[in-house]
Structure 1
């Protein structure tokens, strides 16, 4: 297969505006990219895919060109890297229709469609809460409010949402190639509640018992005075006063210690995921709405 015309070193015709990938690129860089492309194609034909990948990437470093992206995507697909291959196909087509020759563009779009239907899925998340950080597979994704979509490989992925004052939402999501997943995640602010150490009646019961013992001690002292110094009554009165005082002190301490202990009750949120066949040629995806 001859090298693509777009990778030739000649400058675009003066009769039409230069294509975006020609702007700011010197002839020396184009020549270097063409040489690396030739080496990459030779390795590619010999099925030395890893080595060809390196040369294609070096050529792209010299000259960001749509057809170089297409050739790199072919190698990446052969290496079993569908996600990176898809991204290179997307970059090859990012300048719109007419970027590539008609048959080449048709090939690129067909390859993207095949990857989306059989080897890839997508996750789309919407977060309406300002300042909420959304992470995908423990890597920063975007900050709300907003919505983002990302192509992923089939299997389990983890979406995480963090925001001060809210519990962290951690949601494992299973996505399947060729299927579309949709769901809605509802969130509420954490609830702050207080709970005492013991039932409220415990310290108050001790205070009441101490007061009762004190009253009993007072009665015994009055009885002792009425009987003109009855030793037994006096000892009982003193014992009742001491026991009552100790019991009231204990009750007071428990009352102070029994103030409510404040803690958060976390609302983790719930989400129901529905899987269904794709209704269009778009990628399989997960659509989840995060509402705080």
Structure 2
């Protein structure tokens, strides 16, 4: 997969978010009355907040990998929007825009309640900016039982649909099922655009095409020409025999006299016509034999095309731009 560098707009967000202060321990509170705390025990909340605080300390020191790991551990205990938001801060600095988008969506899941309204709008703006740097794909497959994967990651078993964001660049789609040729499709995706892609499993018959060395009529035309030449030779042969008959008749009527030149010319003409007829037979026969051989060589030969080529034949890719939002970056705080 080809990776693209963040654009100037996204780089600006990185810079602004680098100054964002994580939630301090004094700002945290626990309880079960809030929707995002439903079903989470006090013990899990307490442990998650401790991990969250440790992640914040690492984030302040720009130790992003370890900070992200602390937030990941905290989210395993408590799926809190604020933790998702700080996770997005860490991942932005690790150049993981797809994961950043996922965590920003989770941070906005309950609206502005776990964040103040200003910070919620900031999260919306960050999310829009990230979307401009990524490509959105809509992948569908209606072939029952087909396993559909994108860049080696299984998305679903058909029939199904997947919609998500990926980095711009070249990506490979596969649809596989036992007993069917694998459908392999490669596409280069552009940032900020939506690309619908429909995959299909094909049978061997659907992927079979036929080709010849030459146009089908050419060997047959050569055979036909050979037959015509041979027929011409036959006509010359008949004329030769006619000349010989005329010669024999004239000699017989002469009664043993020396035949005049006109009679001798009949024999000479017959000899010449016979030689030409034999040559014509040889030429026509060679053409017929050659044409027959070429007809055999030129018989229709089956070959299989790549399923991706079949996809290209049957599918047009339409691109639709995503809508952008305003660009803002500001320090984040949270309300629990």
Q: Which TM-score band (shorter chain)?
A: 0.5 to 0.7
C-alpha distance in 2, partners of 1:32/1:267? 54
Larger Cα-atom Rg = 2
CA distance in 1, matches of 2:196, 2:51: 44
Alignment match, 1:40: 55
Q: Is 1:9 matched with 2:23? A: no
Which residue in 1 is equivalent to 2:292?
Answer: none
SS at match of 2:115: coil
2:311 is equivalent to residue 270 of structure 1: yes
Q: Which runs of 4+ in 1 moved over 6 A?
A: 4-7
Cα offsets for 1:170-199 (capped at 9, x unmatched): 011111212233455676532198xxxxxx
1:280: which partner in 2?
323
Q: 2:96 matched to which residue of 1?
A: 81
* CA distance 1:114–1:265, shift in 2 (3 Å): same
Structure 1 equivalent of residue 79 of structure 2: 64
TM-score using structure 1 length: 0.61
Alignment of 1:235-274 (within 5 A): 265=304, 268=307, 269-271=310-312, 274=317
Tell me whether 89-98 or 30-39 shows the greater mean CA deviation.
89-98
- Equivalent residue of 2:191, what SS? coil
Structure 1 residue 275 displacement after superposition:
6.6
C-alpha distance in 2, partners of 1:279/1:57? 30
Give the CA deviation at 1:52.
Answer: 1.8
Q: Structure 1 residues 55, 165: CA separation in 2 closer, same or farther (over 3 Å shift)?
A: closer
* 1:169 lines up with 2:169 in the alignment: no
Task: Give the number of equivalent residue pairs.
Answer: 209
Instruction: Give, in whole Å, the separation in 2 of the partners of 1:22 and 1:77.
Output: 26
Q: Which has the higher strand share?
A: 1
Of the three residues 144, 147, 150, the one matched with 2:164 is 150
Separation of aligned partners in 1, 2:26 and 2:150? 37
Contact residue 36 and residue 58 of structure 1 kept, 8 A: yes
Q: C-alpha displacement at 1:86, in angstroms?
A: 1.4
* Aligned partners of 1:9 and 1:31 also within 8 Å: no
Match among 124, 127, 149 for residue 109 of structure 1: 124
Unaligned runs of 5+ in 2: 1-20, 209-301, 326-336
Relative to structure 1, the CA distance from residue 184 to residue 125 in structure 2 (aligned partners, 3 Å threshold; closer, same or farther) is closer
**CA shift at 1:7, angstroms?**
7.1
CA distance in 1, matches of 2:70, 2:205: 57
Correspondences of 1:176-195 after superposition (within 5 Å): 176-182=190-196, 188-191=202-205
Please give the secondary structure, in 1, of the residue aligned with 2:103. Answer: helix
- Confirm or deny: 8 A CA contact 1:167 1:266 kept in the other structure: no
CA contact (8 A) 2:176 2:182 kept: yes
SS in 2 for 1:3: coil
- Measured against aligned partners, the alpha-carbon deviations of 1:85-104 in whole angstroms (never above 9, x if no partner) come to 11211222234564532122
RCO higher in 1 or 2 (8 Å CA, sep ≥ 6)?
A: 2
Query: Given the superposition, is the C-alpha separation of residues 54 and 20 from structure 1 closer, same or farther in structure 2, using an over 3 Å criterion?
Result: same
CA separation of 1:25 and 1:142: change in aligned 2, threshold 3 A: same
TM-score normalised by structure 2 residue count: 0.54
Q: 1:153 to 1:7 in 2, by over 3 A?
A: farther
Instruction: Provide the rounded CA distance (Å) in 2 between the counterparts of 1:2 and 1:145.
Output: 43
SS of 1:270 mapped into structure 2: helix
Task: List alignment gaps of at least 5 residues for structure 1.
Answer: 13-17, 194-262, 283-292
